[in-house]
A and B are shown apart, each in its own frame.
Chain A
Amino acid sequence: MFSLMIRPLFKNKKFIIGISIFIFFLLLGILGPVFYKVDPTEMTWDYEQPPSSEHPLGTDTYGRDVLAQLFHGIRSSLYIGFLAAIISSIIGTIVGSFSAVKKGITDDILMAITNIVLTTPSMLIAILIASYLKVRSMEAVAVILGLFQWPWYARAIRAQLMSVTSREYVYLSIMAGYSDTKLVIEDLLPTIATYAFMSFVLFINGGIMGEAGLSLIGLGPTQGISLGLMLQWAVLLEAVRRGLWWWFVPPGIAIVAITASLMIISTTMDEVFNPKLREE
């Protein structure tokens, strides 16, 4: 069944474009720093140089190599994105499924909380929390971002599970003496799997964009290099107004390419799977 589900995806041109772009950037992030062994933090006297054979993407005000920064930045941004997505998915899945399975007051309370978080301007709260943390590791940033993007997903999971748990096949499994755990694993999880995957992809986007936002406002990770930090330095040191395009254009392109490719993956999955599900 799994291969049956995957195959139509690879017949979809848009999906192939999306996944190729994403894999390309993923490889840049993973392999870039391995093969391009320039220290992104090393300061040299070659500052603010436009792209050349020595520095393919030029250097910044401190003479650091932009290409090396880009590779490390992609790596960190993806890392933060993935981590934030994992956190959001876990919270969302737990809240959504508890709500759906326990019903009653548990459901009422969890949904009230979900709605409150949903209406809370999450970016603002994230900024606030980050502002109080003096040292912000990549992980801390991911946690801050992950804590606020789950509500819509929890609601969707709840709705899906609610409809699944009133399906006859779930009753039939219960009537076949299934324990709750077995029921969840065999009948409930597979139904929400595609949706959960699609949401996970969008959460990565949220994480990457969120990191860039936090960084620009001065609240990004305090160590390491991310795409957002590159942009922040460029803004701080007036790279834009001084026309040092090689410094702020590449990280932006990387952000747009990664998030757009993930977006394409998610929407094409929706296109491919939804009509199928409706037919059944």
Chain B
Amino acid sequence: MSRLVVENLTKVFSLGFFSRRYIKAVNNISFDIKEGEIVSLVGESGSGKTTTAKMILRLIPPTSGRILFEGKDIWKDIKSQEALRDFRRKVHAVFQDPFASYNPFYPVERTLWQAVNLLEKSPSNKKEALELIKESLVRVGIDPKDILGKYPHQISGGQKQRVMIARCWILKPLLIIADEPTSMVDASSRGGIIQLLEELREEQGTSIMFITHDLGLAYYVSDNIFVMKDGEIVERGHPDKVVLEPTHEYSKLLVGSIPKLYRKLEGL
């Protein structure tokens, strides 16, 4: 069964007061994500992939089209505060910029407390909650001593992203939107973060949607790839099909331009 269904989703931004201009950021896209599936939405900046992610996360409303999560339209069928909290528990995100993911005024663990407080059955007391937080940190390979009480600028980017995944581990959402989770992390930390996300899927059947410009990452992790260009999905399918036999002109150009490790690019 599909966990998330996106139907004819469109987002138009309007700019300017006197001379209004319209920008179609997302243009009539449809796709779905199954239980335990990892998909990637691949595109350059300005392709509309981040706007799509924000609409699915219920951060900005679509202009038209529907987003169905577990059969319910997330923009029309969520009416009560409780229903919204339930949605927030079930759909979560890891963002690109580990520095911008933390408010510099608070210790790092604030983000985990936020997650604990969002839980349906929050731990009855502070001590239990702290235990849960520590457990989540251990789970993502961090010694709680290393980060508890620290401020964001005191820990590394890789650690910050791991704490974000710890947050997801506490919430155990059904769908995680991972918006470029590794692009600002050093190469040697990158693999660990991807592995942690994959483990979440193995253990809990979490569906994951990577939003990325990195076709290499998408090729490696995904069951299904959607290539976006100027607000539209121009190519979709199994990674091998998209990468090895692209059909659309843009995906051909994209695949042909990405530097590879074991092959030289043509025409250099």
A–B contact, 8 Å CB criterion (strictly below):
yes
Residues of A within 8 A of B (CB): 1, 4, 105, 108, 112, 167-169, 171-178, 186-187, 190-191, 277, 279-280
Min C-beta distance of B34 to chain A, whole Å: 23
Complex contact A172–B111 (CB within 8 A): yes
Q: Which residues of A contact B75 (CB under 8 A)?
A: none
Q: Which residues of A contact B99 (CB under 8 A)?
A: 280
* A176 interface neighbour in B88, B105, B153, Cβ under 8 Å: B88
Complex contact B100–A167 (CB within 8 A): yes
- Given known A-B contacts A172-B111, A174-B59, A280 and B104 have beta carbons under 8 A apart: yes
- Beyond the given pairs A112-B17, A169-B100, A177-B88, 16 more chain A to chain B contacts, judged by CB atoms under 8 angstroms and listed by A's residue number, are A1-B151, A105-B17, A169-B102, A169-B103, A169-B111, A172-B93, A175-B59, A175-B88, A177-B85, A187-B103, A190-B103, A191-B105, A279-B153, A280-B104, A280-B152, A280-B153
Q: Which residues of A contact B17 (CB under 8 A)?
A: 105, 108, 112
Q: Which residues of A contact B247 (CB under 8 A)?
A: none
Q: For the complex, give the distance between the alpha carbons of A172 and B97 in Å.
A: 12
Q: Which of B113-121, B193-201, B237-245 contacts A (4 or more CB under 8 A)?
A: B113-121
Q: Specify the chain B residue showing the minimal Cβ separation from A175.
A: B88
Q: Which residues of B contact A105 (CB under 8 A)?
A: 17
Q: Which residues of B contact A167 (CB under 8 A)?
A: 100
Q: CB within 8 Å of A: which of B151-165? A: 151-153
Min C-beta distance of A186 to chain B, whole Å: 8
Q: CB within 8 Å of A: which of B84-109? A: 84-85, 88, 92-93, 95-97, 99-106
Q: Specify the chain B residue showing the minimal Cβ separation from A108.
A: B17
Min C-beta distance of B151 to chain A, whole Å: 7
In the complex, whether B57 has a CB less than 8 A from a CB of chain A is yes
Q: For the complex, give the distance between the alpha carbons of A4 and B153 in Å.
A: 13
Counting chain B CB atoms within 10 Å of each CB, the highest count among A4, A172, A191 belongs to A172
- Given known A-B contacts A108-B17, A177-B118, A1 and B153 have beta carbons under 8 A apart: no
* A1 interface neighbour in B88, B92, B96, B106, Cβ under 8 Å: B106
Q: Specify the chain A residue showing the minimal Cβ separation from B86.
A: A177
Q: Specify the chain B residue showing the minimal Cβ separation from A173.
A: B114
Min C-beta distance of A1 to chain B, whole Å: 5
* A172 interface neighbour in B95, B96, B151, Cβ under 8 Å: B95
Which range holds the interface residue count of chain B?
20 to 34
* A190 interface neighbour in B105, B111, B117, Cβ under 8 Å: B105
Q: Specify the chain A residue showing the minimal Cβ separation from B89.
A: A177
Q: What are 26 inter-chain pairs, A to B, with CB distance below 8 A?
A: A1-B105, A4-B151, A105-B17, A168-B95, A168-B101, A169-B103, A169-B111, A171-B95, A172-B93, A172-B114, A174-B59, A175-B92, A175-B93, A176-B114, A176-B117, A177-B84, A177-B85, A177-B88, A177-B117, A186-B106, A190-B103, A191-B103, A191-B105, A277-B104, A279-B153, A280-B152
- Given known A-B contacts A168-B95, A280-B153, A175 and B103 have beta carbons under 8 A apart: no
Q: Which residues of B contact A178 (CB under 8 A)?
A: 114
Q: For the complex, give the distance between the alpha carbons of A114 and B106 in Å.
A: 33
Q: Specify the chain A residue showing the minimal Cβ separation from B151.
A: A1
Complex contact B84–A168 (CB within 8 A): no
Complex contact B57–A175 (CB within 8 A): yes
Q: Which residues of B contact A4 (CB under 8 A)?
A: 151
- Given known A-B contacts A168-B96, A280-B152, A176 and B102 have beta carbons under 8 A apart: no
Q: Which residues of A contact B151 (CB under 8 A)?
A: 1, 4
Q: Which residues of A contact B167 (CB under 8 A)?
A: 172
Min C-beta distance of A7 to chain B, whole Å: 14
Q: For the complex, give the distance between the alpha carbons of A1 and B110 in Å.
A: 13
Q: Which residues of B contact A173 (CB under 8 A)?
A: 103, 114
Q: For the complex, give the distance between the alpha carbons of A187 and B105 in Å.
A: 8
Across the A-B interface, give the 6 residue pairs with the lowest CB-CB distance, nearest first: A176-B114, A168-B95, A108-B17, A168-B101, A168-B100, A190-B105
Q: For the complex, give the distance between the alpha carbons of A171 and B167 in Å.
A: 14
Q: Which residues of A contact B115 (CB under 8 A)?
A: 176
Counting chain B CB atoms within 10 Å of each CB, the highest count among A105, A171, A175 belongs to A175
Min C-beta distance of A185 to chain B, whole Å: 12
Q: Which residues of A contact B114 (CB under 8 A)?
A: 172-173, 176, 178
Q: For the complex, give the distance between the alpha carbons of A178 and B115 in Å.
A: 11
Q: Which residues of B contact A190 (CB under 8 A)?
A: 103, 105
Q: Specify the chain A residue showing the minimal Cβ separation from B59.
A: A171
Counting chain B CB atoms within 10 Å of each CB, the highest count among A1, A108, A169, A186 belongs to A169
Min C-beta distance of A23 to chain B, whole Å: 27
Q: Which residues of B contact A171 (CB under 8 A)?
A: 54, 57, 59, 93, 95
* B101 interface neighbour in A1, A172, A176, A279, Cβ under 8 Å: A172
Q: Which residues of A contact B88 (CB under 8 A)?
A: 175-177
Q: For the complex, give the distance between the alpha carbons of A178 and B84 in Å.
A: 11
Q: For the complex, give the distance between the alpha carbons of A108 and B15 in Å.
A: 10
Complex contact A169–B101 (CB within 8 A): yes
